Amino acid sequence: MHKKFTKLLLQWHLNENKREMPWKGEKDAYKVWLSEIILQQTRVEQGWTYYERFIKKYPAIKLLAKAKDEEVFKLWEGLGYYTRCKNLLHTARLISTKYEGKFPERYEEIIALKGIGDYTASAIASFCFDLPYAVVDGNVLRVLSRVFGNNTPVDSNEGKKIFTTLANKVLDKSHPGLFNQAIMDFGATVCKPAMPLCSYCPLNSICVAYKKGIVNTLPVKEKSIRKKTRWFSYFVFNANGKTLVRKRTGKDIWQNLFEFYLVETDSNPAWTKKSVKLFFENQFGAGDFEVTRIYSAESQQLTHQHIKGYFIDVYFNKIPEMLESESNTWIEAKQMNKLPFPAFINKNIRHQKMRPALF
């Protein structure tokens, strides 16, 4: 499966990947390093503009090294996290003196530079010097977690070791830079956080999460579980007189209780008929369904968490193949009363007829 994953991903990258960025395919280590530092706490759209400004004013690392602190900080203005800018200047001056303005080519020397961690060092090493080091960022973790069906928390110590090992195992050692760019772009454009394009995904034939219908439960993050406010959107799927339920088995709230199909998001998804339709088309490839109601849930305050969200009633003419996995159970209404559900679900289902729908 590892070899097939690598092959399919590279095929997608060479034939379908249309994502454009000014530093993409760049071999100049200075430019790659600069782009990675800017993007550490910044969205690509915003970082793009800053990157172009920096390259225009300081096209070579020696010019950046000679610049006055005030000039560089002024150019950085608006990006925040100014420690990045301090480290940028420090490292530029070090390379200018110690390495005579030439970026070091060995991984061990790259990672020793101030402000550069595993991810940035791997990016520079693979993109610029074709060294076999896998990049492991949020996009990569999401892709690996879903395709290989691994629910180990990606932000745990165990998870970091497991996914770093896996990333290096699937890495194309002969074309590391090409592969790293491919998996990062794939996570950003196809295997997206809340609205992945599963039905169009070239990896869905080998994706464990897709086959088991657990795409939206992966990757698992310990920090998300500890959030004070969480957004739960419950899709109440109905087909052939039955309703889909699944058991909560992870180390989280409501363990061993039952629930409907859950999509957890970082913020209010503000569902509409249009966005629900898009979600289903992207994830299930399903067009034969009807969204009958969208309810804004009555929130629930737990000891350390505030649960908010939505309940969305959906009727299928037939059960989508993705929802026939072993993690899902389709039951009749009379069986529903025999299963234990969290109070959040019971309260909202009990009162849903009393509350107006959002459309």
pLDDT single digits (tens) 315-347:
988 887 778 877 889 999 888 888 889 989 988
* Residue % of the chain over a pLDDT of 70: 96
Residues forming CATH 3.90.79.10 domain(s) in the chain: 227-354
Average pLDDT of the chain to the nearest whole number = 90
State the amino acid at position 92 in one-letter form.
A
CATH code for 2-189? Answer: 1.10.340.30
Given this structure, which CATH class describes domain 227-354? Answer: alpha beta
How does pLDDT run across 66-83, given as a tens digit for each residue? 999 999 999 998 888 888
Identify whether 52 is a catalytic site residue.
no
Structure-token pair, residue 72: 């560089």
pLDDT of 354 reads 47
CA atoms within 13 A on the CB side of 39: 19
pLDDT band, very low/low/confident/very high, at 225 (cuts 50, 70, 90): low
Instruction: Give the mean model confidence (pLDDT) for residues 242-246.
Output: 94
Phi, psi (degrees; rounded to nearest 5) at 236: -90, 95
pLDDT of 139 reads 94
How does pLDDT run across 81-111, given as a tens digit for each residue? 888 999 999 999 999 999 999 999 999 999 9
Given the residues 20, 36, 108, 298, the one annotated as active site: 36
Residues forming CATH 1.10.340.30 domain(s) in the chain: 2-189
How does pLDDT run across 17-64, given as a tens digit for each residue? 988 887 788 899 999 999 999 988 788 888 899 999 999 999 999 999
**Count of H-run helices and E-run strands, the chain:** 16, 8
pTM: 0.75
pLDDT of 356 reads 53
Instruction: Give the mean model confidence (pLDDT) for residues 112-140.
Output: 95
Instruction: Give the mean model confidence (pLDDT) for residues 136-149.
Output: 96
* Residue % of the chain over a pLDDT of 90: 63
pLDDT band, very low/low/confident/very high, at 353 (cuts 50, 70, 90): low
Dist CA 168 CA 40 (whole Å): 22
pLDDT of 3 reads 92
- 8 Å CB contact between 211 and 287: no
